[in-house]
Structure 1
Amino acid sequence: MATYYPPVGFHFKVEFGVTQDSEFEFQSVSGLSVDIETEEFAEGGENRFKHKLPVRTKFPNLVLKRGLVTDSDLIAWCRDAIEDFQFKPTGVMVKLLNEEHQPLKTWNVVHAYPVKWSVSDFNAEENSLVIETIELAYNYFKS
């Protein structure tokens, strides 16, 4: 029987439908999770508990972090949304890679658009990179 090793979480790439550049080098990706919202229903005559029924799924924002890039197609797409209020939703693919740089698992994020962009604090007492954070709202993802 072959020994199975779980994949490492640091070898991944992110691809956007709005850019032709190779903008897949991110420091971290978070927000690939889903919650099922429930609604409580009280049954007449049953006082010990309430029934919980599934209602809908809820997806948090996708948060991407990387070293600051001053000019790119991705940043232009974000600026269009944030500065000009021109939203162009796109697909985003997050790919977990193996040691040969081939995808082990892919998450297809549907109808993503930027809702927040920020940069890390500037501090003259530290020698650190400027990190930009791009936060995307999306409808759902498929894996």
Structure 2
Amino acid sequence: MATYYPPVSFHFKVEFNGISTQETDIQFQSVAGLSVDIETEEFAEGGENRFKHKFPVRTKFPNLVLKRGLVTDSKLIDWCRDAIESFQFAPIDLTVKLLNEKHDPLVTWNVVHAFPVKWTVADLNAEENKLSVETIELAYNYFTLV
């Protein structure tokens, strides 16, 4: 009987459909926000005082947060700047792929209709010796597991 080992979470890439295929635009330090919550609505039934009934209403997806070392020449940042500086939003689909040791996808999340809502650069501090990290936050409609 073979022993199952869960995949590692540090080998992944993010591909933006129609923006860029540069290595610097698919490699990230971290990806957060691949989660879903189901909102519920409570209903109090007359005569039943022990609890309220809960009914599912809709799904809710948090923003996707991508972090990487600061990139000076990036089509992805150009896309973000168009939205932030010119208020020209061009939503796109993107995929997050968890890779195996042969760089083949194990799991793929397809994120639908994403657009930038926040871009930050880590604090600059002459007393610290660390990389300059940029954070890109994207709102999106939903994601599916492919």
With normalisation by structure 2, the TM-score equals 0.96
One-letter amino acid of the structure 2 residue matched with residue 139 of structure 1:
N
Runs of 4+ that moved beyond 3 A: none
In structure 1, C-alpha distance between the alignment counterparts of 2:103 and 2:40, rounded to whole Å:
40
CA shift digits 1:58-110 (9 cap, x unpaired)? 00000000000112110110000000000000001000000000000000000
Aligned to 1:11: 11
1:95 aligned onto 2:91:
no
Alignment root-mean-square deviation, CA: 0.7
- SS of 1:95's equivalent in the other structure is strand
- SS of 2:130's equivalent in the other structure is coil
Between the two proteins, what is the percent identity of the paired residues?
78
Q: Which consecutive residues of structure 1, in runs of 5 or more, have no partner in the other structure?
A: none
Indicate if the aligned counterparts of 1:18 and 1:74 stay in contact, CA closer than 8 A: no
Aligned to 1:109: 111
Indicate if the aligned counterparts of 1:14 and 1:25 stay in contact, CA closer than 8 A: yes
Indicate if the aligned counterparts of 1:18 and 1:73 stay in contact, CA closer than 8 A: no
- Within-5 A mapping of 1:38-117: 38-117=40-119
**How many pairs align?**
143
- SS of 2:62's equivalent in the other structure is coil
- SS of 2:83's equivalent in the other structure is helix
In structure 1, C-alpha distance between the alignment counterparts of 2:49 and 2:3, rounded to whole Å:
51
CA shift digits 1:2-60 (9 cap, x unpaired)? 11100001000000013233211100000000000000001111111100000000000
- SS of 2:7's equivalent in the other structure is coil
With normalisation by structure 1, the TM-score equals 0.98
In structure 2, C-alpha distance between the alignment counterparts of 1:18 and 1:137, rounded to whole Å:
18
